[in-house]
A and B are shown apart, each in its own frame.
Chain A
Amino acid sequence: MAKVYNWQIGREMDYLYEGKRPEKQFAMVLDTNKCIACQTCTVACKTTWTPGRGQEYMYWNNVETKPYGYYPLGWDVNILDKLGVQEMDGPVYNGKTLFDAAPTGEILLGYLPEDIDYAHPNIGEDDSTGLMTQGAHLTLPHMQWMFYLPRICNHCTYPACLSACPRQSIYKRSEDGIVLLDQSRCRGYRECVKGCPYKKTYFNAQTRVSEKCIGCYPAVEGGRQTQCTITCIGKIRIQGFLNAPDKVNEDNPLDYLVHVRKLALPLYPQFGLEPNTYYIPPIHVPPPYLRQMFGWGVEQAIATYKTVAQDRKLLGALTLFGATPEISFYFRVDGDTVVGYDAKQAEIVRVPIKEPIVIRPVYDATHKAYRTNIT
């Protein structure tokens, strides 16, 4: 075991391999407040990458309802239960990571799901925590709640799947941090399926080896965002690259959202993998639940989100979501617009932060006609 620094838990931790960060780190920010679980991302991913034989059950991207939805069944509560109750009472997490909690003879704490756990991808969909009593009205946070959690592979800085593979079939690309599973090298041991706490590696029973989300690397190499990002009709995602906290660039929209404003938080940071999809937490959900899921800083993120309408730069960064299929390496707020730039600082998109409002009079004098509201 080597000592590596995991900024999400604010401390050094044990990992099987030395800590060497990639030149760029693939990352994504998802605004859970805007997701409606339409599954357009899921279908876009499915038709692009996993329509083949043996891939029927694979959802490299899925959207599940929390708290009662899971794919596979119980993935997060199962591993949380095995990890046991841990304290998370500050920016430094002193509880056990999955590597700290490795049983004797294992690389890390994990479990292999049963085949049947994948039989109900929509289990718990739209299920709320309970019923509203007669006459009650919602306040923030909501008394009864649910929210949607879209998930892809987190392309972790310290991937559990990679460390669990005894024959180094999984590797993390130095150029963009995307984690890939070599289809010619894998021998189907399923150690990665057992090791990944997010259950984002999948075993293909037709090819007898495992597969996983490839971060749409052919698109990313060409400066385009992933399929799940560019097809999102709710514009809840932005995909780009995230710098390490000691190399933050405020002009990078992901750095700005994650490091500078701390609006977007990692998924289950206590596992110790430094996952690289970041979530803007849902403001209507009670913080204790969210703190378990997104770590320390949930309350601050929610407070920041509530003031976003008055925050020009933050609003600008959020306006870039779904504004272009290309990767915005940099952004700048220019008057009433936000501008996205590619890796060479060339402008790729310019979007008004506030759509102009046009009021059309009821009587059109030119045509001598009354307009009626047909909506």
Chain B
Amino acid sequence: MRPQHIVIALAAILAWAGTALAQPPLTAVRVKGVGPITDPAAPIWKQSRPVNVAMLPQTVALPHNDRPAIRQLSVRAVHNGGWIAFLIEWSDPTLSDRIVLDNFGDQLAVELPIETKGPPPSPMMGNPGGRVNIMQWRAAFQHDIDKGPPTVRDLYPNAWADVYPDEILSASDARPYSGALGIENPISRGRASPVLDQMAEGWGTMTVKPDQHALGKGVWKDGMWRVVVTRPLVSDDINAPRLEPGLRTFVAFAVWDGGGREVGARKAWASWVSLVVGR
């Protein structure tokens, strides 16, 4: 860890202390049902009291985002004994789910400490030795699932090419011409879930886990995103938290406005909020 990182991590923890005291805890209330909770319109959400989470400009790690577009999230949490779910709602007048060079997608991340005992790691993507589980929902993935992944012609209606390698070569021979898709970069597409199940222990270390357990769904309507992110309370993944009824832990959030060209470090973030897993 570079000295500047230590200073920043300390500053972040102090920021967390201030925020956490001011912030009412988020309680994941016990609801009936089994299996993943993915419907943002489900009536069960009425059983959970929403907590407003203030979003901060990311001005600690380079590059900064001084003026994030989204300043507040409304968060609810529930669990059914098998799965915990978060419903996050925020105002965003523009739907951004088309990804080309100068178009970025709306995104949301829910962060949990992997080790639930003791003080939490840095809320800013963890720190060396302080692992966090980051579940990131992406509007572009939601588009892929709801409407199918975009073809070149979907993105560029006037595009034209003589021939593509995959039209004349065997699948294995054409593979090197498909870039990140050919090596199954999880960022690319072809996903069953719009939520990436990831871990990190500091800036630049975000890693999509081999075991994917996070699910969810986002719906944009009337200038509002309503996004559910859900994961099993307990799994056999050593890089996931073990969440049991009665546990007190933390949760943190990040949000990106694609229309404002927010991506990566250019985001709004919130420090740890106390999370209670209801009995």
Contact = CB atoms under 8 A, between A and B. Distances in A.
Contacts of A164: 63
B177 A166 contact: no
A205 B140 CA distance: 11
A216 B24 CA distance: 57
Given A166-B62, A166-B264, A187-B206, A113 B102 contact: yes
A52 B173 CA distance: 12
Interface in B35-54: none
B188 interface: yes
A211 B176 CA distance: 13
Interface stretch (B86-94, B111-119, B179-187, B221-229): B179-187
Highest count of chain B CB atoms <10 Å: which of A53, A107, A114: A53
Given A106-B63, A208-B188, A188 B102 contact: no
Contact of B181 (A115, A187, A190, A206): A206
11 contacts: A51-B164, A56-B159, A105-B65, A112-B261, A115-B102, A166-B265, A167-B203, A183-B185, A188-B187, A205-B152, A207-B179
Given A51-B165, A166-B62, A166-B265, A208 B180 contact: yes
A203 interface: yes
Secondary structure call for the A interface: loop
A372 interface: no
B188 A209 contact: yes
Contact of B66 (A55, A56, A105): A105
Interface of A: 51-56, 104-107, 112-115, 118, 164, 166-168, 183-184, 186-191, 193, 203-209, 211
Contacts of A188: 99, 187, 263
A106 B183 CA distance: 31
A191 B152 contact: no
Interface string B90-108: 0000000001111110000
B6 interface: no
A295 B66 CA distance: 36
Given A115-B101, A166-B61, 12 more contacts: A52-B179, A56-B159, A106-B62, A114-B102, A115-B102, A118-B101, A183-B179, A183-B185, A187-B264, A188-B99, A190-B101, A205-B155
B102 A112 contact: yes
B22 interface: no
B102 to A, nearest CB: 5
In terms of DSSP, what is the predominant structure of the interface of chain B? loop
Contacts of A113: 101-102
A54 B166 CA distance: 13
B263 A189 contact: yes
B62 A53 contact: no
A115 B156 CA distance: 11
Interface of B: 59, 61-66, 99-104, 140, 150, 152, 155-156, 159, 161, 163-166, 177-181, 183, 185, 187-189, 203-206, 261, 263-265
Contacts of B163: 51
A184 B177 contact: no
A204 B100 CA distance: 8
A208 B189 contact: yes
Given A113-B101, A166-B61, A207 B188 contact: yes
Closest 10 CB pairs of A and B: A105-B64, A189-B264, A52-B177, A207-B180, A167-B204, A207-B179, A183-B180, A209-B180, A203-B101, A205-B100
B135 to A, nearest CB: 15
Nearest to A211: B179
B63 A52 contact: no
A294 B206 CA distance: 40
B63 A191 contact: yes
Given A53-B152, A183-B180, A207 B185 contact: yes
Q: Which one of A56, A115, A166, A186 has the greatest number of beta carbons of chain B within 10 Å?
A: A166
Given A209-B185, A209-B188, A54 B101 contact: no
A53 B155 CA distance: 12
A182 to B, nearest CB: 9
Nearest to A205: B100
B264 A52 contact: no
Contacts of A118: 101
Nearest to A52: B177
A107 to B, nearest CB: 5
Contacts of B177: 51-52, 55
B100 A190 contact: no
A185 to B, nearest CB: 8
A105 B59 contact: yes
A205 B203 contact: no
Contacts of A205: 99-101, 150, 152, 155
